[in-house]
Amino acid sequence: METKAAEVSSIQPFRVSVPQAELDDLHERLDRTLWADQLPDSGSDYGVPVDRVQRLLAHWRHGFDWRAFEARINSYPQFTTEIDGQKIHFLHVRSGKADATGLILTHGWPGSIVEYLDVIDPLVAAGYDVVVPSTPGFGFSGPTTERGWDQYRVARAWVELMSRLGYERYGAVGNDGGSIISPEVGRLDPTHVIGVHVTQLFSFPTGDPTELAGLTSEEEAAIEHLNWFWQNMGAFNQLQSQSPQTLAHALADSPAGLLGWNSQLFGDDLDDDFIVANVAVYWFTRTMASSVRFYYEMAKSQERPAGPTVVPVALAAGGRDFQSIRRFAQRDHSNIAAWTVYPEHGHYAAHESPEAIAADIARFYGRLTAPAQHAELAPEAPVGS
Catalytic residues, by residue number, are: 176, 295, 347
Other CB atoms closer than 10 Å to residue 359's CB: what's the count?
23
Distance in angstroms (rounded) separating the CA atoms of residues 104 and 133: 7
d(CA 215, CA 284) in angstroms, rounded, equals: 47
Dist. CA 311–CA 332, nearest whole Å: 12
Which distant-in-sequence residues (6+ apart) come within 8 Å of 270 by Cβ? 346, 348, 351, 352
**What is the end-to-end Cα distance of the chain in Å, rounded?**
45
What is the DSSP secondary-structure string of 80-138? Answer: EEEETTEEEEEEEE--S-TTPPEEEEE--SS--GGGGHHHHHHHHHTT-EEEEEPPTTS
Q: Which of 112, 171, 30, 119 is nearest to 290 (CA)?
A: 112
Name the nearest CA neighbour of 180 among 333, 365, 288. 333
Decide if 337 contacts 314 (C-beta within 8 A): yes
What are the two backbone dihedrals, phi and then psi, of residue 132, each rounded to the nearest 5 degrees? Answer: -125, 95
How many angstroms separate the Cα of 67 from the Cα of each of 13, 29, 351? 19, 18, 20
Question: DSSP letter string over 168-219?
Answer: SSEEEEESTHHHHHHHHHHHH-TTTEEEEEES-------S-GGGGTT--HHH
